[in-house]
Structure 1
């Protein structure tokens, strides 16, 4: 019985910890740019629930979203997934 209570408490602690993780609250367009080889990309900023502001870059007509500047390797296919990753990293 004590094991079940301990396991339940641990599960609730994990769930409550993840609910406090930073989440994106807004995504705002900043500018259109080109890198050194002429590839066009757009810059956006994500405002997170913890008060931090993170940069996103959109490539291939917004088909590829990367966390950070033009040199970033952390990319997603969807804007919201990239925004969540950016806030989680902060």
Structure 2
């Protein structure tokens, strides 16, 4: 019984520590406004992550749609913070 309890505690601690080590966005900075080839306006932002990497976000539809990467990206979210977290993964 004690062994089972210790194993469960150890696995729970490992899962919690793995989540704590995941890269998180530390800042989001506006870069510029742009226009797609079809005339659709967008904005670009740079996300800095806790692991030192940088990623680009693009905002569409008056900042209602946030995409990781450029205009052709499929990884989009409705909220800026969700897109930033996805960019840091």
TM-score of the aligned structures, taking structure 2 as reference length: 0.96
- Deviation of 1:36 (Å): 1.0
CA distance in 2, matches of 1:33, 1:26: 21
Q: Which residue of 2 aligns with 1:73?
A: 74
CA distance in 2, matches of 1:3, 1:14: 17
User: Structure 1, residues 15-65: CA drift from partner, whole Å, max 9, x if none?
Assistant: 101101000000000011111111110000000000000000000000000
TM-score of the aligned structures, taking structure 1 as reference length: 0.95
Q: Which residue of 1 aligns with 2:31?
A: 30
C-alpha RMSD over aligned residues: 0.6
Unaligned runs of 5+ in 2: none
Q: Which runs of 4+ in 1 moved over 4 A?
A: none
Q: Which residue of 2 aligns with 1:85?
A: 86
- Deviation of 1:3 (Å): 1.1
Matches within 5 A, 1:1-90: 1-88=2-89
CA distance in 2, matches of 1:26, 1:85: 14
Unaligned runs of 5+ in 1: none
